[in-house]
Structure 1
Amino acid sequence: MNRRSLGLLLATVTAATLTVGTAPAATAVPTADAHLGTRASDPFYRYDGSRPLSSYEPGDVLKKRTLNYHLVGIPTPVKAIQLLYRTTDAQGRPSANVTTVVRGVGSDGSKAVSYQSFYDSLDPEDGPSRAIAGDVSLGGLIANAEAIVMAPLLLKGYDLVIPDTEGQTAEFAAGPAYGTNTLDSIRASTRAEGTGLHSDTEFGLLGYSGGAIATNWAAALAPAYAPEVNRRLVGFAEAGLLVAPAHNLRYVDGALMWNGVLPMAVIGVARAYDIDIKPYLSEKGLKVYNELEYGSIVDALGRYPGMTWKDMVKPEYKDPNSIPAFVEAVNKVNLGQAATPTVPGFIGQGNAGRLEGTFNNPPGIGTGDGVMVAGDVRTLARQYCATGNDSIKYEQYNLLSHFGAMPYWTPRAMDWLDDRFAGKPAPTSCGSIPVGNSLAPEKPTTAN
């Protein structure tokens, strides 16, 4: 990529960001194929080979195409390579997913950033690869706006790898699948011809909010799931992190804006683990389920002010832990129960949730940035320090909310990654991180 092309990209993304409120929006309309991510209009997303998908290794490339990078449907001169690759879903089954590779200015293929988007959606159509390919949807506007974050990395010469972290079934909040999708995206990017990436390319992981879920799970799973990738990771940078989803559901319960993520997370995790949640839902819960089944975070924010878990379920399930399938699922996606990353990490977390309409301070959970729980993130960072990784830098932003923390944290994260690629010693906060919450597994209770 040259600077002129990137300049045009920056001009387009600036215009796109200014017109986000008026850009054409495609409403998420579920079809028989939508949940499977098999779009009749774009066969690229379907694996239709003669060999069983299980016969491929994770990260093997199944299809490849080169296209112009689009912003809100407008093509730019920047070229992007998209790959359909074999990966592993939340239940350990073979699956196919898509990632995008964009070359940095003057890149020599030696360093790349895997950027995990915070597109946060239950609709496969909202994934970053589809936005880059020219599709326009309401939820996909987030992936378009993120180009403003990615452009500075390209200017620095980093190649970018941008996975559809939620997979082709849009399993929102199902962290382990986010992690495998991310790691196999890196594998695929170095195996495909023409990407400029190779087996010696060093990678940094970067993500905020939903992107932080993918970033942390990838870092945690890498030593066992993708050791050859782990050896080439210089570090992971993340902020606004979901750690123990059961805590977050209690934290946002009844909030003015962020409580819409409650049903989204329940739907996404239930989808990932084949759980039928509908029998537990009240009439209102079923209505919300149907409204958000293929919705995005854009559909959910501020839509149900004051709604609580009790509003969504039948009276006998007012305690979510009275649903055994719920307990089993949230324990699977609790980062506190996952392995410790072996590479340096920079973790940021806001803690002024009142600014975004979340006033809760539940016992044992405390406060957060409006949607993510600060005490959970502190404990996770302390846990990493205590289990062998003393290269963890933690920052808590007590005056910043979820939206506010990102513009403050992002340039700091980029500088931190620059230093890791430069081989500088990683700073540490180990020994000075305040105590947080217990991340012990949830325990089932008896319905009453």
Structure 2
Amino acid sequence: MDTWLRRSAAATFTILASLALASPTVSAQPVVPVSDPDPFYWSPPDLAPHANGDVLRARPVDVSRYGNADGWQILFRSTNSTGAPIAATTTVMVPRGGVDRPLLSFQAIINSLGTQCGPSHTLFNGQLTEAPALPALLARGWAVALPDHLGPTSAYGAARLGGQIVLDGIRAVQHLPQARVGRSPVGLTGYSGGGMATGWAGALAPTYAPELNIVGIAQGGVPTNLSELANGLGTAPHPMFGLAFAATLGLEREYPSRVAVDNFLTPAGIKLRDQIANACSQQIIDDGAGHSTAEVSKDPTQINAPSLRAVFDENSLLMYPGTPRAPVFAWHGSGDQLAPLDSTAATIRRWCGAGVPVQFDVLPGDHGPAAVEGVPGAFAWLDGRFAGTPPPSNC
């Protein structure tokens, strides 16, 4: 995890800066993923009358590989970054017996452009990185929901969208009678990209979903200032270039009128785009390895394009004035090269100043090692929140 997360971050924000230029003369349409062949995922035509979190359809799924639990997949109504209604998916696993068990929304790391790469698929095909943690969570008696938080177009890079989908996914799970979690206390957790969706869900909840009983937010390795990461990065060939390029395409999907990639792609860039437009992480890494911004972009110099910076800021927790209402556990590597510690610390200070109880643990090492080392503390902290004990704080 350490190598590809760290390397992909540096490449990602360089590519975003050089490709997503302001005021294109001709607006091209983003390449959206192929529709899932399973009609369960297809959006119904009457989304507008539904409220966020309404269950559009649901089906049972076999989650016995993870423990003595029942499982369901839910298609629900949510909202994208421009306020338009969308249909999104979450998968919930509930230990058998009991009612209103603690409900944990677990935001997985998803670095992909194909909709088949979300947890609703990878939970069942062996490709979910976080899968080994799930049996232990179910054994604690927790229900666990795993949203496909990149949304129906797999908009990799759009963090605020992820937060909205997380909150609407929790609403949907609590609206599903079979799950028996309608009055459950709710916790949130995730790391890196999953931590971004987690942090955004926590910060948006007081205004976007104030009715949810969120008792704790455990987030790790969260990049809170995307513009900062874009500054000063080079454009040399990179082994993780594919993931960086994929994030550019994902943001174009979510902001098609503001992030116009196609207008600036070289023939090599168009070829790579078409290769990975529906790919999961490993294919994206393999196909993009050794390529560079200069190879795929006609003009790799416009790192300070105002439209790009605005999109970065709209997806940066540091810039968002809202704060969580629930207590927070945050962990971060002291030498994190993906998500600079200073920006995360500044975000935490602002939350502390607003009265949010925050336990902020700075662990030695880079992004990857901190991911593993922080998990036991995060789950123990969530145990306390579900038990109703007062949250610790080192603000």
The answer to whether residue 141 in structure 2 is matched with residue 174 in structure 1 is: no
Which AA in structure 1 matches 2:260? Answer: D
CA–CA separation in structure 2 for the residues paired with 1:69 and 1:35 = 30
Aligned residue in 2 for 1:211: 194
Q: Using the TM superposition, name which of 333-342 and 151-160 deviates more.
A: 333-342
* 2:179 partner SS: coil
Aligned residue in 1 for 2:181: 197
CA–CA separation in structure 2 for the residues paired with 1:291 and 1:284 = 11
Distance of aligned partners of 1:373 and 1:333 in 2 relative to their CA distance in 1, 3 Å threshold: same
CA contact (8 A) 1:237 1:413 kept: yes
Matches within 5 A, 1:216-235: 216-229=199-212, 232-235=213-216
The answer to whether residue 138 in structure 2 is matched with residue 165 in structure 1 is: no
Distance of aligned partners of 1:252 and 1:320 in 2 relative to their CA distance in 1, 3 Å threshold: closer
CA–CA separation in structure 2 for the residues paired with 1:37 and 1:237 = 34
Matches within 5 A, 1:24-103: 35=32, 38-40=35-37, 42-48=38-44, 52-69=46-63, 78-103=69-94
Which AA in structure 2 matches 1:69? Answer: V
Which AA in structure 1 matches 2:346? Answer: T
From 420, 431, 442, give the equivalent of 2:385: 420
Matches within 5 A, 1:281-430: 281-301=265-285, 309-315=293-299, 317-322=300-305, 324-338=306-320, 339-352=322-335, 368-369=336-337, 371-389=338-356, 391-399=357-365, 401-430=366-395
Cα deviation, 1:232-282, whole Å, max 9, x if unaligned, reads: 111110112122223334476458555543222211111111132121234
- Per the TM alignment, residue 180 of structure 1 is displaced from its structure 2 partner at its CA by 0.9
Aligned residue in 1 for 2:226: 245
CA–CA separation in structure 2 for the residues paired with 1:296 and 1:245 = 23
Which AA in structure 2 matches 1:61? Answer: V
Which AA in structure 1 matches 2:73? Answer: Q
Matches within 5 A, 1:84-123: 84-104=75-95, 106-123=97-114
Which AA in structure 1 matches 2:214? Answer: L
Identity of aligned residues (%): 28
CA contact (8 A) 1:219 1:343 kept: yes
* 1:320 partner SS: coil
CA contact (8 A) 1:309 1:318 kept: no
Aligned residue in 2 for 1:446: none
Q: What TM-score do the two structures reach when normalised by structure 2? A: 0.83
CA–CA separation in structure 2 for the residues paired with 1:180 and 1:105 = 29
Q: What TM-score do the two structures reach when normalised by structure 1? A: 0.74
CA contact (8 A) 2:33 2:278 kept: no
Cα deviation, 1:201-244, whole Å, max 9, x if unaligned, reads: 10000111121111001001111110001xx1111101121222
Distance of aligned partners of 1:250 and 1:292 in 2 relative to their CA distance in 1, 3 Å threshold: farther
* RMSD (Å), alpha carbons: 2.5
CA contact (8 A) 1:206 1:212 kept: yes
Which AA in structure 2 matches 1:149? Answer: A
* 1:238 partner SS: strand
CA contact (8 A) 2:243 2:288 kept: no
CA–CA separation in structure 1 for the residues paired with 2:243 and 2:343 = 18
- Per the TM alignment, residue 178 of structure 1 is displaced from its structure 2 partner at its CA by 0.3
CA contact (8 A) 1:104 1:153 kept: no
Cα deviation, 1:95-117, whole Å, max 9, x if unaligned, reads: 00111111125543231101111
CA–CA separation in structure 1 for the residues paired with 2:110 and 2:292 = 24
From 267, 274, 278, give the equivalent of 2:249: 267
- Per the TM alignment, residue 283 of structure 1 is displaced from its structure 2 partner at its CA by 4.4
CA–CA separation in structure 1 for the residues paired with 2:276 and 2:225 = 22
- Per the TM alignment, residue 388 of structure 1 is displaced from its structure 2 partner at its CA by 3.0
Mark the runs of 5 or more structure 2 residues left unpaired by the alignment.
1-30
Distance of aligned partners of 1:289 and 1:387 in 2 relative to their CA distance in 1, 3 Å threshold: farther
- Per the TM alignment, residue 348 of structure 1 is displaced from its structure 2 partner at its CA by 1.2
Aligned residue in 1 for 2:24: none
* 2:32 partner SS: helix
